[in-house]
Structure 1
Amino acid sequence: MAHIHPPKIEYFDLDAKSNTDPKGQLRSVDEYRLTPTGLYMFRPLAGHPKISHFESWFLPKLNIRVTRQSWHPGHLIDFDFYVDVVEINAIGTVWKTTDLYLDLIVRTGHSVTVLDTDELIAAVQHKLITPERAQWALETTYSAVSGISAHGHDVVRWLTSSGCPTTWR
């Protein structure tokens, strides 16, 4: 059974170096970097038992947020990148993302897996998003899966070939 919830919205204030998460929690951001193709963010996850920090690229051209997490010692990771399908809007120096449920787990050189299709379907059934937005999310997902797969399951190679080069810490 899918967890039914409205699309998750986040705000990223470049001037304040803050991130307001979907629950309204204000988080401090260590670094924002604005480029012609997107926005990079690096921030710690204070108090998280497994993850020490994460870094994300918000790429409006591709309608995705690509995240790489760093883990505390002793915690195993079984993926390299987490990709969210998102609508991205920017007003001045505040960026806003609306997460449209679908996520990709990428194991570089091995696989890409789509998650949360059940959540997307439940959201449409409960009229939390329109069928048109769901179709857009699915098409965005298919495009990302196809691109990542065609580049040897390598997100960074796919992003570069798509005109969205990224650099990571």
Structure 2
Amino acid sequence: MPVDLHPVKRETFNTAEYTNTDPKGFLREVDTYTETDFGLYMARGADHPRFGYLESWLLPDLNLRANIFHFRPGVDVDQDFYIDVAEIQRDGTVWTTRDLYVDLVATRGEPISVLDIDELSAATSAGLISAEDAEKAIDTTLAAVEGITRSGDDAMAWLAHQGIHLTWSDNITLTPEG
């Protein structure tokens, strides 16, 4: 299967303006931002055909973005969390992410799945990402996989062992499909 070779995806989170500029450049209104000592929580609607709401935690010290996609009725996806390996920076009220290609799919009690290593390899070979960033992505992936595995295949338990207690909304409303 051919690799999806693409430049690094960048995203912006403006906590003062309650906006999120997604990787395609679309400006999205954000319902909630919560800053903590370990990261930034974002919750917003999504007009995507497969999911209608997105919750994310940016965890800069771990180079991870943990997501819950609230899928639309009839979309059957076996995952609790979708975790992006990403470089995360903050400048005042603006947070930015540079996606480092690798993704992790976590379902409690099941082995973690690692996706898109082929994209990381292709992007590194094509010069779209530096060898240093590729190494950061690999090291981050290995640390997360080991930690989650040692925590009974529970991503939230692994984070809690590190003093990172993520909270998620109990009450969301799916945004209509766009």
CA contact (8 A) 1:59 1:164 kept: no
Runs of 4+ aligned residues of structure 1 deviating over 4 Å after TM superposition are none
| CA offset digits 1:35-61 (Å, max 9, x no partner) | 111000001102x22211010110111
Matched, 1:4 2:5: yes
Pairs within 5 Å for 1:148-167: 148-167=148-167
Matched, 1:26 2:27: yes
Pairs within 5 Å for 1:9-88: 9-46=10-47, 48-88=48-88
Query: 5+ unaligned residues in a row in structure 1: which ranges?
Result: none
Secondary structure at the aligned position of 1:40 is classed as strand
Letter of the 2:122 partner, please give it: A
Offset of 1:83 from its aligned partner? Answer: 0.5
TM-score (normalizing by structure 2): 0.92
Letter of the 2:43 partner, please give it: F
Offset of 1:69 from its aligned partner? Answer: 1.2
Letter of the 1:40 partner, please give it: Y
Pairs within 5 Å for 1:66-145: 66-145=66-145
Matched residues in 2 for 1:44 and 1:111: separation? 29
Offset of 1:82 from its aligned partner? Answer: 0.4
Matched residues in 2 for 1:90 and 1:39: separation? 10
CA RMSD of aligned residues (A): 0.9
Offset of 1:5 from its aligned partner? Answer: 1.1
- For these two proteins, the number of residue pairs brought into alignment is 168
Secondary structure at the aligned position of 2:142 is classed as helix
Matched residues in 2 for 1:49 and 1:24: separation? 18
Matched residues in 2 for 1:20 and 1:166: separation? 23
Secondary structure at the aligned position of 1:68 is classed as strand
Letter of the 1:88 partner, please give it: I
Letter of the 2:32 partner, please give it: E
CA contact (8 A) 1:13 1:19 kept: yes
Secondary structure at the aligned position of 1:156 is classed as helix
| CA offset digits 1:49-103 (Å, max 9, x no partner) | 2211010110111110000111122221211100000000000000000000000
In percent, how many aligned pairs have the same letter?
47
